[in-house]
Amino acid sequence: MKFFIDTANLDEIKEAYDLGVLDGVTTNPSLMAKEGITGDDNVRAHYKAICDIVDDKVSAEVISTDFDGMVKEGKELAKIDDKIVVKVPMIKDGVKAIKYFSGEGIRTNCTLVFSAGQAILAAKAGATYLSPFIGRLDDISFDGLDLIEQIVHIYQNYGYDTQVLAASLRHTMHLIKCAEIGADVITCPLKVITGLLNHPLTDSGLAKFLADHAKAAGK
Ligand code: G3P
């Protein structure tokens, strides 16, 4: 399972990359705004800065909601760097744009996915990645993980190439369950990735090893 980090914060991206487990980055307009990045030139420069940190696969989201606007914007985003994946919302013109980008060899990430029907449409249009939002479904009392399981099953039935990119993860159990289900990729905040490190028996075991070593050395 690939790990993407869901942030536009350069320090967090560097920290995840330095850990050696990062396969890519996802952003969205809210995450860019959170970093105070506004204006087309600044947004593009920020995407370039992210691409300079990681090896590949940086999702950059279009703001347009009509086909022509999404195509124009997506092409401009794709020109920033070969690592860019154009993120397109799951709306009618978005599906058309995904089909267009697929024909042009531009990778896409279909975002704001909340149903199996939407997942089938995106796969048929040729999306490279599909982003179902687990946490936001959980927020309204639908089981987000059930949706991931359903989509993985459907994609396996037909051998779709679209990769299931589980998004809106809120905690480590979301990540572990996605691995059990067989999601291709997860994207999450840094704290979910670093949360995987934690176990009290690791901490107490290491403290004991170091204490025994010091004692034997007469320290
Ligand atoms: O990748 C999607 C993600 O940014 C949404 O996460 O926590 O805002 O639901 P969240």
pLDDT digits (tens), the chain, 219 positions: 999 999 999 999 999 999 999 999 999 999 999 999 999 999 999 999 999 999 999 999 999 999 999 999 999 999 999 999 999 999 999 999 999 999 999 999 999 999 999 999 999 999 999 999 999 999 999 999 999 999 999 999 999 999 999 999 999 999 999 999 999 999 999 999 999 999 999 999 999 999 999 999 987
Q: How many CA atoms lie within 13 A of 98 on its CB side?
A: 28
Cα(204) to ligand 1 centroid in Å equals: 34
The model carries a pTM of 0.96
Would you say the CB of residue 7 lies under 6 angstroms from ligand 1? no
Q: Among all residues, which ones are annotated catalytic?
A: 87
Would you say the CB of residue 187 lies under 6 angstroms from ligand 1? yes
Cα(72) to ligand 1 centroid in Å equals: 25
Given the CA of residue 168, which atom of ligand 1 is nearest to it?
Answer: 6
Four-CA torsion 14, 30, 3, 11, nearest 10 degrees? 10
Would you say the CB of residue 5 lies under 6 angstroms from ligand 1? no
Q: Strand, helix or coil at 140?
A: coil
Q: How far apart are CA 133 and CA 162, in angstroms?
A: 16
Q: Give 24's contacts (C-beta < 8 A, 6+ positions apart).
A: 2, 3, 4, 5, 54, 56, 57, 58, 59, 85, 185, 187
Tokens 């606007």 correspond to 69
Q: Domain 2-217 carries which CATH code?
A: 3.20.20.70
**Cα(first)–Cα(last) distance of the chain, in Å?**
44
